[in-house]
Structure 1
């Protein structure tokens, strides 16, 4: 009888425990509810839903499941944000939680263990590097000292188009723009032109292109835990080869610069700084020699920083100018209005300069409208460092965040006729005060908060001045010139580039030829 009582008590305890556990799980489920999610398949997660253009795929999912979605890419948990309101909560209200970026194998290795400002984990080292970029490398003083570089390279670019114009030659706009931007960056970084064959700068730009391509490819080891130590796609070997080549080339350039700095010190018995305009490598080496620096800048940090400037600045800048020109060709009335503004403000006796841009609001509107429809970085990528709550939803630590800048810029809730290219929306209206620096969350082409792109000012200078000079100096003809339209299809991949080359004939405006 006693055994029966004992078993009855145990059974009662077991049943009570089950009910209590179910109640606790139910409460936890209500307080820790993940965002809506599509059907997930074993092993691959939601990869079966992905198309060739991720930001378009994310946008389609958001129209079905809402502005905050939870998905798995392989075994990696992710959330997708597709509205300004959710983006603000993630990037401002919970900014510290989302101040780091995920570590992808290829990018981590190429950047010397994430020693660059782009990928370094949030912390003292990253804060030092961000301050260094904002105040020294890409700060106002450095950009002003190197303004002549941008002016000279733009002049050479225009001269090249003038020659082709006289011969009625067809130009591949993207190729020419990328060469221009590469020359600007290599000269600002190491005082060498990449388009002069046979020098290290040319080889470095080619290596950076290869490295950038590798970092943008889908690597199984980044998303499937059981593939972490495997190299099924052969990426590891290619990344190691690219890294070794880059390291060899940049090391040679650094050693040459160090010898040059030493010889100048010996000649002047000083610090060798002189009064000449310093390029970015010169500044980096000077900071590395500073024993009183907050954090000692290592050789790896220098190499990673130079790589970061190349990767972040070249393709994105060229793409933005190309998209703007394509939109202008398709909207000739906007092209004419921009030219009228430039002729009125600048005149016809000199070439437009960087100092003219603040007086060209319509041109600025064209660039803003281009960045709204064709943001250089269509997706902002972050990772949560701790658990947090967004609205009614729970986001666990180590969840990757994708903020769909492309979709936010086309949201009809914030933009009237969102698919129309209309620079006037930024002139004389509520949108006129919008800037690109991340304060308005329905317009964040360069990101927002602490991890906003540190190269925003340089990018705008190059994009706006180059676009203004092309508008001022050339008509752009395609085909037979009879109402042909440019195809605006986007290319596959994570960078927002054009699917088809923009080929046109630049026709010079005759009265401006002496300026070139």
Structure 2
């Protein structure tokens, strides 16, 4: 049956609205015509709480009492939902199959959900596609609010991403970012304006972030070593693919999560791929732990300069709190987020050379050309910080954040007074992408790239949420900002950059949890003559110390 359905859908892709309607109807039949969780009426009750936000028109083929919006389910999902909000309002009730979804583009309502109702919305929805990818909803990002999540969050906040840990790992970032510049220089030592080299920016950014994370986690380095810039081990290549698959499959844009029939017959083999990917990721993480445990010496245990080293040391005294399962859950953190932000940042600067020149002039003024920029220099580069903020505004790490789910009935306020009732079990999607591009907050041209909008505190008080809010706020925010800032500063300082063609870089957004670029970024570059001595010095310093 699965093969027949797959072939039928493949041959009739242009009929997609039709077959989604059909599958939607069958899905409701199998689910026993799940009752609607919200009424679409706006009548108030005695306490002034209205029954529901207004839904957009539901799927015409679905009976009125069993509305569905899967016919609106298009990728990238954040763009499709932004269009709905622009037409129907900033607080919408949707039904993805039998699941009620509250879609929010109003900053005040989002803040209320994630602060006033922080505990209520601290759960994660148990989406079928996430089950295998998260080891049965046991990772930090997927676990619902409870003892397991609190233990993981405590370890992540205190042991992994604390200010002390970030300070101790500064030498890792201070080695790997110049190492990336060294790779680029060695690949094109004689390149110039007339004969520039070509860089796969997406690949270089991913390799940088993977090296930083791997060295912080387990003292490993996947790229560089004694090979050239293009060398890639089999383990590194497979890990790159695992990260790509994970973020492509994860999120709130899988039809299989909302239509029972698709999950039962596994159309497209999504479940099989998730099981295989989960097995590979667990094997990779356990191998890191076993290797670290096998090679650890008493001196190394005392030194404990890696996350795994620290956690294994604590495991001896608290085996349950720091079990291999817990360490594995923390090892399986995202690598694609920071690398995607670096890629988006370089794409924006390539399309806006005046901003790149302004950032380079600032770096030359405060750092000079006699050395490569360092992490300690970043607070002295205010325009670079404006670029990073504008980058995160236009291309946030998670355009819909990670989905939340209400654990109890609550209500949220609406513009003009009154409140909407939100029953337990409602999935919350906060459309950060839409909020960050709202002309009410960002002026008449919110889609444009303008770091100057952040200069002089002009955007103080404006609502930005690239890393979430409340208990589920991303604990790796500090690390991400440091890596992105140092990477962009180094690339701008050390090299001249140019687009591959005369046309602007394609800024089309792809689908996935982290909104990757649909077209991977490539660019032309050559070393700045005044930076060649410093770049040559990286070669000798890195070989000596690393």
What's the TM-score once normalised by structure 1's chain length?
Answer: 0.85
Report the 3-state secondary structure (helix = DSSP H, G, I; strand = E; otherwise coil) of the residue aligned with 1:461: helix
* 1:348 to 1:220, Cα distance in 2 relative to 1, 3 A: closer
Q: Deviations over 1:39-90 (max 9, x none)?
A: 2222781011232211111111111111100000111100100021111121
1:146 to 141, 157, 169: 169
Distance 2:115 2:251 in 1: 27
| Structural mapping, 1:414-453, within 5 Å | 414-416=441-443, 417-431=445-459, 433=460, 442-453=463-474
Are residue 390 (structure 1) and residue 412 (structure 2) matched? Answer: yes
Segment of structure 1 superposing worse, 192-201 or 44-53:
192-201
Equivalent residue, structure 1, for 2:439? 412
Tell me the number of residue pairs that the alignment of Structure 1 and Structure 2 aligns. 469
8 Å contact from structure 1 (residues 345, 359) kept in 2: yes
* Counterpart selection for 1:514 from 533, 537, 540: 533
Q: Quick check: 1:91–1:98 contact (8 Å CA) kept in 2?
A: yes
Inter-CA distance 329–247: structure 2 relative to 1 (3 Å threshold) = closer
| Deviation (angstroms), 1:201 | 5.3
Whether contact under 8 Å (1:194, 1:205) holds in the other structure is no
- Residue equivalent to 2:322: 297
Out of 491, 494, 498, the residue aligned to residue 477 of structure 1 is 498
Does the 8 Å contact 1:75/1:225 carry over to 2? no
Which string of whole-angstrom CA distances, capped at 9 and with x for unpartnered residues, describes residues 348-390 of structure 1?
2111111111111110000000100111110122111111111
2:273 aligned partner:
238
State the Cα distance separating 1:224 from its structure 2 match: 2.8
1:114-159 superposed Cα distances (whole Å, 9 cap, x missing partner):
2221111112321221121111111122222222222222122112
Q: Unaligned regions of 5+ residues in structure 1, if any?
A: 1-24, 435-439
Contact 1:76 1:224 in 2 (8 A): no
Cα deviation code 1:324-357 (max 9, x no counterpart)? 1121122222111111111111112111111111
TM-score, normalised relative to structure 2: 0.80
**TM superposition shift of 1:462:** 0.4
Aligned residues of 2:439 and 2:446 also touching (Cα < 8 A): yes
- Pair 377,220 (structure 1): closer, same or farther in 2 beyond 3 Å: closer
Q: Within 5 Å, which residues of 2 pair with 1:293-372?
A: 296-307=321-332, 309=333, 312=334, 314-372=335-393
Deviation track 1:176-230 (CA, whole Å, cap 9, x = no partner) reads 1111111211121121122364465554443343333333585454213566655
* Structure number with larger C-alpha Rg: 1
Equivalent-residue separation in structure 1 for 2:187 and 2:524 (angstroms): 8
Q: Report whether the alignment pairs 1:68 with 2:91.
A: yes
Q: Secondary structure at the match of 1:402?
A: strand
- Report what 2:241 is aligned to: 206
* Correspondence list, 1:10-409, <5 A: 27=45, 31-41=49-59, 42=62, 45-165=68-188, 166-167=190-191, 168-195=196-223, 197-198=232-233, 200=235, 203-216=238-251, 218-225=253-260, 231-261=266-296, 264-265=297-298, 273-275=301-303, 278-291=305-318, 296-307=321-332, 309=333, 312=334, 314-380=335-401, 381-391=403-413, 392-409=419-436
Alpha-carbon offset, residue 464 of structure 1: 0.3
Contact residue 83 and residue 411 of structure 1 kept, 8 A: no
Asked if the contact 1:349–1:515 (Cα under 8 Å) also holds between the matched residues in 2, the reply is: yes
Q: In the alignment, does 2:506 pair up with 1:487? A: yes
Report deviation, 1:459.
0.3
| Contact 2:340–2:514 (Cα < 8 Å) also in 1 | no
What is residue 21 of structure 1 aligned with on the other side? none
Q: Contact conserved, 1:488 with 1:498, CA < 8 A, in 2?
A: yes
Paired residue for 2:3?
none
Contact kept in structure 1, 2:247 and 2:336, CA below 8 Å: no
